[in-house]
Structure 1
Amino acid sequence: MKQMFGGPGEISGIILRMLQGTFAAIALGILSSVPGVCTNTPFCFLLVQQCVQIIWCFMLICLDLKVLVSGGRLPSPIHVMVNLAFDWCIWMLSLGAASSTASVVELFWANSICEKWREYNCRRYQAAVVMAFIAVAFQAISVHIWMWIAASSFLPRLH
């Protein structure tokens, strides 16, 4: 397996996963502080998705630490493909959740719902969406890294 920035067993990989999980946790904390957040489906979906993303980040940090301790080798190319598949699926779900929530927040602002009904806490929703998009950006980097690792695991070595 080729060593690369953000890859398993690299300190940069652990930092990448920690940043991703931290921004997901901040988004989760902001959303959790809004009363009645699960009365709106996109916000509830984002809340659940951030929980899933935090769990996935923790699992990848554990994998990074295992690879770091064991000398920098992943168990097999199949293991790489499974991680790539899960990372990609969670990234797509996170992107969908952040995008749908952002569109609802924009709808609230465009139709002056935030001024009419203060209980919607639009500023908190905006902050949560921004944090979710930052977490999605870190996850996109992670998916890109897993794709390169998968390609280097399966393609024959060119001399």
Structure 2
Amino acid sequence: MIDIPGTPGTLTGLVLRISQCVFAAGSISYMVTSGGFFSFTAFCYLIAAMGLQVIWSFGLAILDTFALVRKKTLLSPVLVSLFVVGDWVTSTLSLAGASSSAGITVLYFGDLGSCSFEAECWKYQLSVALAFLCWITIAVSSLTTLWLLASA
């Protein structure tokens, strides 16, 4: 397998996983601290998708840290296949959650003007923005691991 920046077990891979975890946790925290998010199904789905992303990214960040400390490689075809499937599943779920929440945010709070609390609207928008930033980092990881698997 070739050495690509962002591969599992490298420093750039660890940075990608930590940034995924931070963006997903930030998205969850902004959404949960806003009142009434549970009345919108898309926002609940975003919380579920970002929660899964936090668990997946945190687990792989721990695995990357272990590989860096022990100077091990995580490039066996079985592990890379697992990373590809997990990254693509979480990537799809995160994009769906971010897109549906963005649509609801624009519809209700922009087009219909039904946002009476300005601070709450900003929390929804920041949560969606962080979800999209999380998805961008997941997409980079997904493409990197897919490229690794294809080059094996």
TM-score w.r.t. the length of structure 2 is 0.91
Deviations 1:60-85 (A, max 9, x none): 11221233244342263122112101
Corresponding residue of 1:156 = none
Q: Percent identity?
A: 34
Q: Cα RMSD between the aligned structures?
A: 1.7
Deviations 1:89-111 (A, max 9, x none): 11000000000000001101111
Unaligned 5+ residue runs, structure 1?
154-159
4+ residue runs over 6 A deviation: none
Within a 5 Å distance, the mapping from 1:10-159 to structure 2 comes to: 10-74=10-74, 76-108=76-108, 109-114=110-115, 117-118=116-117, 121-153=120-152
**For the Cα contact (< 8 Å) 1:53–1:94, is it kept in 2?**
yes
Using the TM superposition, give the Cα deviation of residue 30 of structure 1 relative to its aligned residue in structure 2, in angstroms.
0.3
Matches of 1:40 and 1:120, distance apart in 2: 17
Q: How many pairs are equivalent? A: 151
TM-score w.r.t. the length of structure 1 is 0.88
Unaligned 5+ residue runs, structure 2?
none
Matches of 1:62 and 1:41, distance apart in 2: 32
**Paired residue type of 1:136:** W
**For the Cα contact (< 8 Å) 2:8–2:75, is it kept in 1?**
no
Using the TM superposition, give the Cα deviation of residue 120 of structure 1 relative to its aligned residue in structure 2, in angstroms.
9.2
Using the TM superposition, give the Cα deviation of residue 118 of structure 1 relative to its aligned residue in structure 2, in angstroms.
3.3
Using the TM superposition, give the Cα deviation of residue 34 of structure 1 relative to its aligned residue in structure 2, in angstroms.
1.1
Matches of 1:86 and 1:37, distance apart in 2: 27
